[in-house]
Homo-oligomer: A and B are copies of this chain.
């Protein structure tokens, strides 16, 4: 039935926001109840446990992030343009975040790494996909002689992700976009240094 699916979605959306803002340990099922207007039964009907809800909420959050990438590569064929497009995506990340509370990948990675293996695996897969995307763009660029073949695509991917997430961390901490923008600025120079 559609109604049930709708309710499930609503729970997930509110839970994703709450977990992203307060963390998995810091947000309670009661918070989700209040946000959704549902009672205990209404939530536990759709999710066996808070854990299961957390996993679904992270998947939803990751999906929100992925959607931003969807349209951005249209019309960009060259590797350098694609990388620039990706990086420029983050220029509006703070003003129009996919989810309040910063980057769910960063937040969830930091909270789950030592405490929540299931959640940690989900984040790993999310970053795996991100790294693979960057890697693919670079690989094709090298094949097409757009990208300097002496670079290590894996390193570039790690540097991109680390810089963006580190920049988000700082800008969220100071509540000021300047740090993320500096990271983006650096990445743009970096892209130009190896793409012709």
Contact = CB atoms under 8 A, between A and B. Distances in A.
Nearest to A103: B110
A49 interface: no
Contacts of A183: 158-159, 162
A163 B161 contact: no
A192 interface: no
User: Could you say which interface size class chain A belongs to?
Assistant: 35 or more
A182 interface: yes
A166 B107 CA distance: 12
A123 interface: yes
Contact of A154 (B101, B165, B175, B182): B182
Given A111-B110, A158-B178, A179-B158, A173 B124 contact: yes
Given A158-B182, A159-B182, A174-B124, A23 B169 contact: no
A87 interface: no
A25 interface: yes
Interface string A83-125: 0000000000000000011100011011101110000100110
16 contacts: A22-B115, A23-B111, A25-B25, A26-B111, A100-B114, A106-B110, A113-B173, A124-B173, A127-B173, A155-B182, A155-B185, A162-B166, A162-B167, A162-B179, A164-B166, A165-B170
